[in-house]
Amino acid sequence: MPKPLENIRVLDLTNVLAGPFCCHQLAHMGAEVIKVEAAGRGDLARQLGADPALNEAGMGVSFLAQNAGKKSVTVNLKHPRGKALFMRLLQTADVLVENFRPGVMDRLGLGYETLRQTRPQLIYCAISGFGQEGPWIHRPAYDQIIQGASGVMSITGDAQSAPQRVGYPVSDTVGGLTAAFAVAAALNAPNRGAFLDVSMLESVLATMGWVVSNHLIAGQEPAPQGNENPTSAPSGTFEAADGPINIAANKDEQWVLLTDHLGLAALRDQPEYANREARKTNRLALRAALETVLKTRPARDWAKELNALGVPAGAVLTVPEVLAMPQVTERGFLSHFEDVAGVGRGIDVVTTGIKLDHAPLTVPTPPPQLGEHAGEIWGALGVSEDELEELQKEGAI
């Protein structure tokens, strides 16, 4: 069956993570995504990642992670002929995604109000750290800056370790997902054509609904909770014989099942654990009591038994461990590409976590080399090989 976004063309003018991650989702949903990269250097992510040789080759791991299935051309938007060529490409596009600082596209003469004059049905998505207006719009907005500004770091860790950054670029990723959702929704409008202003700061705050609402509505000061679930107890991370285990006995019946299975039914008779609120108040003492038994056996054994009883539990895995689990390997979450150009070997990359009609969403091609599709894309606009060569010599592409 056709994918939802087949026959949709997206111009991806983005760099590093938030924008490329947005377009990564759109590509897997079937859109034709054309990376329009800066002539001579391309997406900065091409130089980032844990493999220096790939960085040097312009195929850094950070680029490979979210650019499979896309096509690449280069253009100098400051060059008159480069800008003119871009405008020709724009006439074939349904969506444009950019994550420049606010005002950059306007200064290039390529802002939304200009582009809509010739392409009124264009969906223009601008991703930025703080949105397109407000006193902070000219601040640099890397992921960690947003993590700090949003309050995420203030509630991550425990009372001794907070503030802590989340262990992956959560602000960029959430911003990209928010943008992809907004683009997909705008494509469904009866009359296409919209300007989408996606703020990474607000996107992250929107995902913090419980924390924010407990402050706004209940007057609770947000605070770091470590590995404890502030809404219930016992619910959090506990030590087993070989490492940590997560247990979420959030319901009273799960609390009964857990204590019975651990041989600690007597805890239920103690007033400090008599109900949910009492257990929350005394959660640290309760955790210590449960760990006297949990530490006698391995985490995965406990998890298997507790899940069978109806008490949610799971060992705390490393990234390599979970990637090797049948739950991941058997669902087609990873895509493999053989002998990738510019890499010199096969690579595995993540997809989206979505299955469509029981099949994982995949893309047919690996991440592209810089400008790999120049002949295909510019040629389809009527640009001859001689003209391409001339444009390259002039620095327009």
pLDDT at 362 over 90: yes
- Considering the domain architecture, whether residues 360 and 244 belong to the same structural domain is answered as no
Distance CA 251, CA 233 (A): 9
Token pair for 371: 């400008």
- Considering the domain architecture, whether residues 174 and 263 belong to the same structural domain is answered as no
Domain that holds residue 143: 9-207+330-394
Low-confidence winner among 96-100, 257-261, 390-394 (lowest mean pLDDT): 390-394
Total domains present in the chain: 2
Do the Cβ atoms of 371 and 37 come closer than 8 Å?
Answer: yes
Mark out the alpha helices in the chain (DSSP H runs): 18-28, 52-56, 61-64, 80-90, 104-107, 112-118, 143-150, 170-187, 200-207, 209-216, 252-261, 276-281, 283-294, 299-309, 319-323, 326-329, 374-380, 385-394
Among the three residues 316, 348, 374, which one is the final residue of a domain in this structure?
A: 316
Q: Does 172 qualify as catalytic in the annotation?
A: yes
| Residue 52: other Cβ atoms inside 10 A | 10
- Considering the domain architecture, whether residues 310 and 190 belong to the same structural domain is answered as no
- Considering the domain architecture, whether residues 186 and 75 belong to the same structural domain is answered as yes
Determine the average pLDDT of the residues in 92-117.
96
- Considering the domain architecture, whether residues 193 and 249 belong to the same structural domain is answered as no
> In Å, how far from its chain's centre is CA 153?
17
Instruction: Concatenate the DSSP letters of all residues of 136-165 into one string.
Output: TTTS---HHHHHHHHTTGGGSS-TTT-S--
Type of residue numbered 188:
N
- Considering the domain architecture, whether residues 121 and 267 belong to the same structural domain is answered as no
pLDDT at 111 over 90: yes
Determine the average pLDDT of the residues in 215-220.
95
Whether 94 is in a domain gets the answer yes
Q: Are strands 95-98 and 123-128 parallel, antiparallel or unpaired?
A: parallel
Catalytic member of 172, 197, 242, 301: 172
pTM score? 0.92
Whether 177 is in a domain gets the answer yes
Class of residue 168 by CB neighbours under 10 A (exposed 0-12, middle 13-18, buried 19+): exposed
Whether 19 is in a domain gets the answer yes
Whether 355 is in a domain gets the answer yes
Residues 293-321: pLDDT tens digits?
999 999 999 999 999 999 999 999 999 99
What integer pLDDT is reported at residue 1 of this predicted model? 78
3-state secondary structure of 278: helix
- Considering the domain architecture, whether residues 244 and 274 belong to the same structural domain is answered as yes
Whether 54 is in a domain gets the answer yes
Whether 188 is in a domain gets the answer yes
**Mean pLDDT (the chain, rounded):** 96
Among the three residues 316, 350, 371, which one is the final residue of a domain in this structure?
A: 316
For the four alpha carbons of 361, 364, 370 and 373, in that order, the dihedral sign comes to negative
Determine the average pLDDT of the residues in 350-362.
95
- Considering the domain architecture, whether residues 184 and 252 belong to the same structural domain is answered as no
Confidence of residue 181 (pLDDT cuts 50, 70, 90): very high
3-state secondary structure of 64: helix
- Considering the domain architecture, whether residues 179 and 255 belong to the same structural domain is answered as no
pLDDT at 43 over 90: yes
